[in-house]
Amino acid sequence: MRILLVEDDKDVAGFVVKGLRESGHVVEHADNGRDGLFLAVSESFDAIVLDRMLPGGIDGLRILETLRSQHNTVPVLFLSALGQVDDRVVGLKAGGDDYLTKPFAFAELLARVEALTRRGKGEGPATKLVVGDLEMDLLSRSVRRAGQKIDLQPREFLLLEYLMRHAGQVVTRTMLLEGVWDYHFDPQTNVIDVHVSRLRQKVDKPFAGPLIHTVRNAGYMLRADAA
Amino acid sequence: MDLASPSLPTETAPGRTIDGPATGAKLPAHPRFLRSAALRFAAVYALLFGLSALALAFFLWWETVGLLDRETDTAIAADVQGLAQRWQEGGLPALVITIENRLAENVADNAIYLLVDPGMRRIVGNLASWPTGLPAHRAWAELPIERAGIRSLARVRTFTLPGSFHLLVGRDVQVRAELRDLLTGALLWALLVVLVLGLAGAIVIRSLFRRALANVSTTAAAISAGDLSQRVRITGRGDEFDRLSETINEMLERISRLMDGVRQVSNAIAHDLRTPITRARARLEDAALHANTEADLRAAIERATADLDGIVAVFQALLRIAEIEAGARRSAFAAFDATPMLAGLVDLYSAPAEESGLSLVLACPERLPLFGDRELIQQAIANLLDNALKFSPAGGLVRLSAASGLGTVTITVADHGPGIPVADRARATERFFRGEAARNTPGAGLGLALVQAVGQLHGGTLTLADNAPGLAAMLHLPGAVESAHHAAAADA
């Protein structure tokens, strides 16, 4: 994927660029708003990671507003030290697709950027999700693995649906909390881990080969291992 | 410029402060003394007082001197009409007789008649001759006359009769003129008195105004000088100034509460964040000095990163509490049903509860209308549930219940854990307070502080009670309708 990073802090930018490249992405970097805007409008990217506060007279919001006014729908993730609830709302209202507050864990950033680009492709209203031998019918709300029906609670169904929609990608606990429960705060206890482990009991345990994998220091990934 | 002569700024600085507050530049149209509101009010008072006095004087003049003038004119007009009739009936001789009769009947001796022939020679009348310069036809005039050796003032009307005879009819108005002079003099004196009274009144008003404001302005001055404990004195009269003072005092209370909050947060950062930062730093330094293998190094760095994440979490919680306490989030207030929200929380927390061998039960009415920030209330209750799960012994029961009544909604999270000793309950909602029972559990001591802040933002309270055994944390929030009023009042 081609990713544009607009970030003025050298250390943070260097770290993010290195990390994204190691994960197999092509990264362009601009360290001020003017260059960032120029790159964003003149070249084509799969995703843009945008700092809110930038030197050069043009801040992240301006860049995003300019892009959106030109009907450019490239997915944009804000990476900002402005972490108040209202800042987040402003960023998302301006057309941002996701908002990550500094300081951040790289795994979280990577997971969110990859989730964004998936969203950006626009799958259309699928009625069936398939990962390996796991099948989810979104119309009848039923789940089968290896032809065997699995009974899930409504919330477990939503959790599995989210994991399946992001199959092959890392999904962090915060992403699950936001995407499945629509909660925008961190509970102190490990609630998400408990929910995922219960889901595993139903989806993985009775079958051969796990589908839900724990990614250390990051979160979870649903993937059919190439057997 | 500043670089070329470093001493220049210090020399010019006093000059700047003398000649010009920036406000002076903004209001060049008004001379300086008019910028006193007290003076303006006084001037308006004096002006209104003067205008009323003038209006009164004019009315008095109109009702006395004016009335006399009008009466004289009416009398002359009636006289003229009578004489004209005589002329038509009997010609010149009848007119002469009538005039003579009237002169004879004139007891008050104020009537004036004069009839002259075309050569301006007197035929009959009590004036010696036709006044010089007086037009002979249809003229009104007020002129000095001399009658029987006495100088006097008369108001007259002249006519030309057929055959070029001229007739003059008038009234002696000497008395009236004297009255007018007297009245004019009196009114002029009165105006002087009015001027003096107006000025005196203006000065009184100005000092009243200044005294009413002095109270506020001395307090404001003391506060800008740094003494935040000052409050505006309330006179107890309950008037507009008292109400203004009360409003200002409420504002000051709020400011000092916010200042206390800021101070608490900075103290907390100074003291309570120092410990985990020290730990992270020690881990990194220790690893740099003593790690023998790369694996050791990585492990130390990972632990330090986790420490830093913990610090960030504390930081974010602190900022969030400060944000809530500042009341900035009231914009997100809306009416909503709390029942699905509580059910969602139970759904989220029942899994970890079961994992720890606890049962989490929900008891709440079909509908629970609330007015507030859904996300914040959700987070507050999540904090209470977090605590309850954390402190409950295995096999325990955690009960989330809600009840509405008498305009308040009470949401209770009750557990059978160690509870909070009565002595600690008041302090339990302070930032970073950790009870004896919490020593060995993870946490920063910010959970209840956030719940309390959320409660206060909504005009509610958090009370901690004994669940015998355990803790019952009760969040009292105003019910939907009243809260709407409350928020409207707060916005107004």
- Check residue B23 and give its pLDDT: 43
For the residues B206-232, what does the mean pLDDT come to?
84
What is the DSSP secondary structure assignment for residue B35, as one 8-state letter?
Answer: G
Same-domain check for residues A82 and A173? no
Q: How confident is the model at residue B2 (pLDDT cuts 50, 70, 90)?
A: very low
Mean pLDDT of B424-434: 80
Question: Closest approach of chain B CAs to the CA of A11, in angstroms?
Answer: 16
Mean pLDDT of B119-147: 79
Mean pLDDT of chain A: 88
pLDDT of residue B26: 46
Which residues have C-beta within 8 Å of that of residue B10, sequence separation ≥ 6?
none
Q: From chain B, pick out residues whose CB is under 8 angstroms from the CB of A195.
A: 348, 351
Q: Rounded mean pLDDT of A87-109?
A: 89
Count residue pairs from A and B with Cβ separation < 8 A. 54
State the average pLDDT for chain B. Answer: 81
In a domain, B177, yes or no: no
Return the pLDDT at A124: 58
Q: Which of B266, B299, B322 is the last residue of a domain?
A: B322
Q: Does B351 touch chain A (CB under 8 A)?
A: yes
Same domain, yes or no, for A132 and A176? yes
Confidence (pLDDT) at B262: 79
**For chain A, what is the HEC assignment?**
CEEEEECCCHHHHHHHHHHHHHCCCEEEEECCHHHHHHHHHHCCCCEEEEECCCCCCCCHHHHHHHHHHCCCCCCEEEEECCCCHHHHHHHHHCCCCEEEECCCCHHHHHHHHHHHHHHHHCCCCCCEEEECCEEEECCCCEEEECCEEECCCHHHHHHHHHHHHCCCCCEEHHHHHHHHCCCCCCCCCCHHHHHHHHHHHHHCCCCCCCCEEEECCCEEEECCCCC
Q: Say whether both B348 and B429 belong to one domain.
A: yes
Q: Say yes or no: B298 and B425 in one domain.
A: no
B386/A186 touch (CB, cutoff 8 Å), yes or no: no
Instruction: Indicate yes or no: CB of B316 within 8 angstroms of CB of A83.
Output: yes
Based on the domain organization, do B269 and B123 belong to the same domain? no
Query: Are B389 and A105 within 8 A, CB to CB?
Result: no
pLDDT at position A152 is: 92
Residue B378 contacts A, CB cutoff 8 Å:
yes
B292 contacts: CB under 8 Å, gap ≥ 6: none
The mean per-residue pLDDT over the stretch B1-29 comes to: 42
User: Which structural domain range is residue A92 located in?
Assistant: 2-121
Q: What's the confidence (pLDDT) of residue A120?
A: 46
pLDDT at A157: 93
Percentage, residues of chain B above pLDDT 90: 8
Q: Which residue of A has its CA nearest to B345?
A: A181
The pLDDT value recorded for residue B14 is: 41
Q: What pairs with residue A220 in β-bridges?
A: A171, A214
> Is the pLDDT score of B139 beyond 90?
no
Looking at the DSSP assignment, which residues form a beta bridge with residue B359? B397
Q: Are residues B419 and B387 in the same domain?
A: yes
Residues B345 and B309 in one domain: no
Residues B420 and B445 in one domain: yes
Single residue among B322, B350, B373 that ends a domain in this structure = B322
Range of the domain at B136: 65-172
Q: Is B28 within a domain? A: no
Residues B268 and B357 placed together within one structural domain of the fold: no
In a domain, B78, yes or no: yes
* DSSP β-bridge partners for residue B230: none
Q: Of residues B304 and B106, which shows the higher confidence score?
A: B304
Share of chain B above pLDDT 70, in %: 88
- Nearest residue to A126 (alpha-carbon basis) of A81, A96, A92, A167: A167
Distance CA B65, CA B53 (A): 18
Q: Give the pLDDT band of residue B33 (cuts 50, 70, 90).
A: low
Whole-prediction pTM value?
0.62
Contacts of A199 in chain B (CB under 8 A): none
Does residue A148 sit in the same domain as residue A72? no
Say if residue B485 is in the same domain as residue B358.
yes
Query: What was the pLDDT predicted at A171?
Result: 92
Report the pLDDT value the prediction gives residue A123, as an integer from 0 to 100. 55
Q: Are residues B448 and B476 in the same domain?
A: yes
Residue B483's pLDDT is 46
How many folded domains does chain A comprise?
2
Residue A13 pLDDT exceeds 60: yes
Identify the CA nearest to B488 among candidates B321, B338, B335. B335
Q: Do A198 and B347 touch (CB under 8 A)?
A: no
CATH code, domain carrying A91: 3.40.50.2300
B80–chain A Cβ distance below 8 A for any pair: no
How deeply is B287 buried, as exposed, middle or buried, from its count of CB atoms within 10 A (0-12, 13-18, 19+)? Answer: middle
Q: Structurally, how many domains does chain B consist of?
A: 3
B406 compared with A75, residue with greater pLDDT: A75
A141 and A98 housed in the same domain = no
The answer to whether B443 contacts A83, with C-beta atoms less than 8 Å apart, is no
Looking at mean pLDDT, say which of A155-164, A186-195, B151-160, B172-181 comes out highest.
Answer: A155-164
Looking at residue B1, what is its pLDDT?
A: 41
Q: Out of B328, B329, B351, name the one closest to residue A191 (CB).
A: B351
Rounded to an integer, the average pLDDT of B186-196 is 87
Q: Is residue A227 part of a domain?
A: no
For residue B10, tell me if it sits in a domain.
no
Q: Which residue has the higher pLDDT, B271 or B452?
A: B452
Dump the DSSP string for B417-461: S----HHHHTTTTSTT---GGGTTS---S-HHHHHHHHHHHTT-E
Which of A71, A98, A121 corresponds to the end of one domain? Answer: A121
Q: Is the pLDDT of residue A35 over 70?
A: yes
Average pLDDT of the residues in A154-159: 92
Is B402 part of a structural domain of the chain? yes
Range of weakest confidence among A82-91, B1-10, B71-80: B1-10
Out of A103, A187, A195, name the one closest to residue B382 (CB). A187
Instruction: Decide if B196 is inside a domain.
Output: no
A176 and A211, same domain (yes or no): yes
Which residue, chain included where needed, has tokens 């903004």?
B26
Write the CATH number for A160.
1.10.10.10
The answer on pLDDT for B190 being more than 60 is yes
Name residue, tokens 């409008």. A41
Q: Pick from A121, A144, A178: which residue ends a domain?
A: A121
Tokens found for residue B315: 């930081």
CB atoms within 10 A of CB B325: 23
Query: What's the one-letter identity of residue A4?
Result: L
A98 inside domain: yes
Decide which of B139, B154, B172 is a domain's last residue: B172
Does residue B443 register a pLDDT over 80?
A: no
pLDDT at B16: 41
Q: Cβ contact (<8 Å) for B375 and A85?
A: yes
Same domain flag for B267 and B244: yes
How large is the average pLDDT for residues A164-185?
Answer: 88
Q: What is the mean pLDDT of residues B315-337?
A: 80
Looking at the fold, whether A145 and A56 belong to one and the same domain comes out as no
Residue of B nearest to A86 (CA): B329
Whether B333 and B318 share a structural domain: no
Give B491's pLDDT tier (boundaries 50, 70, 90): very low
* Cα–Cα distance, B306 to A67 (Å, whole number): 37
ipTM associated with this complex: 0.81
| pLDDT of B43 over the 50 cut | yes
Question: Is the sign of the CA dihedral A109, A113, B349, A214 positive or negative?
Answer: negative
Confidence grade of residue B329 (pLDDT, cut at 50, 70, 90)? low
